[in-house]
Amino acid sequence: MCCAFGDGDCRPLAFLLSLPFAFVSLILSVIGVLVWIVGLLLTCICPCCLCVTVLVEIGIELIKAPFHVIEWFISKIPC
């Protein structure tokens, strides 16, 4: 009831401790958006390049980084 992440476990302390790291991850996600946009533009220019597809996938993972960090912290600290 008090936490929207995970399988219903209540870990507010873990959520609060993860916020600074999630902020750093948020900055990485902005970089991920830029990498994703550049990768998509390069894919439009040359769709046969496999390395550009990998660049787009890395950008997508960087965009998801803040959520992964918060979920990881919540799972590591007991209630």
Mean pLDDT of 12-27: 77
List the domain range (segments joined by +) for residue 30.
Answer: 12-76
Q: Does 2 map to a domain? A: no
Query: HEC profile for the chain?
Result: CCCCCCCCCCCHHHHHHHHHHHHHHHHHHHHHHHHHHHHHHHHHHCCCCHHHHHHHHHHHHHHCHHHHHHHHHHHHCCC
Q: Does 3 map to a domain? A: no
Tally the domains of the chain. 1
Q: Does 7 map to a domain? A: no
Summarised one tens digit per residue, pLDDT across range 32-74 is 888 888 888 888 887 777 777 787 888 888 888 888 877 887 7
